[in-house]
Structure 1
Amino acid sequence: MTLSFPAILLLGLAGAMCVGLFVWGFYLMTSKAQVAADLTSAAPKRSKDEEEIFILHRITAQLGRPFLPLIESKLSFDQRQRLQIRIDAAGRPDNLTVERYLSRKAGEILLYGGLTVFMLIKGNILFAFLALGFSFMTDLNLYTEKSKRQDQIQRQLPDFLDVLAVTVGAGLSFRQALSRVADSMPGLLADEFRMTLRQMDLGTSRRDAFKALRARNKNESLGRFVSALQQAEELGAPLADALMTISQDIRRDDAQYLRRKAQKIAPRVTGITAATMLPGLLIVIGGGMFMGTDIDMSVFSGE
């Protein structure tokens, strides 16, 4: 049985198309649609039932829910706090809580771990590793959401601090200025500062509230802003001048951050191009070389 060149070409194109569809599906699975919205009004809050939770997350949460009391009994307070910090850093996607995270992880271990063992018994090593990778789906979601949040904070922070410095320089107190700027510049960073203001309204000191803000967001520029703000408060420096200086430093850091991010794009583009085109090219080139050797395919087919 000898394959013609058009048949080998079609096989190569089919292989490249399969790899491309896999990469595109993975991108759609790990990204959210961006829809234009009226930024002057707050987004309407949806109930738990209206949340668009991925179907596999729903399945694993249902599977792991019966084991939740046992897992919580084995979980220490420090471990629970670390989990809460990870979830807060990701912005609590799908209204995720520690209990829901534990339920999902238990369900993922049961479902995908059992599927991995089944594939290993059947001898399908490749599918076993693929199933094992799905057991980290919730952690991957938290990581991607955390990266998106840090990128948004990095983009919004310089402009936010510029407006905050001008507002404080106009004569408003720091809390009044922070509240007014958060209301006039809606976004992720404004939501974080509003949460900090609510904590201060409930009796939390400014230092502790901003420490919690820094713990929720592992952004280096935001962390330096909090540290510089606390130092200016301790030393009695004029707050407007301190905010302007901090804003200029963070704007320089933002430019360096964008340059570093641009440098990382080229290897990713090269990797995606190689992953989508290389299999098809190998099949086409290897098939052409194989056909040129005039090997009798009946040796392999047993005919």
Structure 2
Amino acid sequence: SMNEVDPLLSDRHNFARMVFSTTKPIMFTSWSLAGLSDIYDMAVAVRGGAENFRRSPFMLQYAEPITPLQHPPESLEKLLFCAEKGIPLIYTSSPSMGSTAPVTLAGATVLSNAEFLSGLVIAQIKHEGAPIIYGGASSPMDMRSGKYIYIAPEAKLSHIALKEIASFYGLPNFSTGGCTDSKVFDQQAAIEASQSILLTGLTGSSLIHDVGYMESGFTACLGLIVMADEIIDEVKHFFKGMAVNKETLALGIIDKEGPGGTFLQVEHTLKHFKEIWYPKLINRDTHDKWVRDGSRSLGEVLNERVKWIL
């Protein structure tokens, strides 16, 4: 178990576990240059050689400058190593508006952009064409508690602004969604996770991370991840929009059925009803059926789903 692992080596163990548990691209963190080097060696072994990895990398290193306007040695080491080896790097500035950045959204955006661009230049000087993803997430400090806030309208406006800047530069961008400032998996968590998934999705960000993060990134919740998966699926369906053509307008069918008609039995309904989005976890049953099935809350359904997945 992870409790038996040396904390200084936990980054290697985390990466190895992810490699054997998913076929999806892996975003990882490393505690040091030595850890990054070991993780790179594992990735090269998986890909069958350094050139194969460079042509088809499957992992992304996450690193940050220190706001305001500092690149700590450990971040620079990782940035330069990634540039040399062809490891895609997410370089994310995270200013706290009112403490480590101007309290105004525009001022924090300027600062965040400068921090990323200076990192980008360093990476390109090391190796022209080094793959790098535009990261940035300005959010206010709560002046009542001194805490960095994950879910704030200013944070989402920052994501929109930074996405537009990244697009102007022709770069992919990193953003967050499906997360919450709540300490427990409660109504606040559901509201904030849902809001952030939709709003970040509307920005068109290239890479959306932090799904399942709670307490401003200090903890995580498996139930929140499962719930967010349902919301993400719904939002993706929403983004498909409405198809408007002769088939979908169904004018002939409307004319045929006429006033007081029904569309349940027509072939057009049979052909298209599966295009409607159906949830796996959200309950739409009648009250009687819900009672017969145990009157379970969404929280209970999510707990059962988590146990089933595990």
TM-score by length of 2: 0.26
Higher RCO (CA-CA < 8 Å; seq separation 6+) = 1
Larger radius of gyration: 1
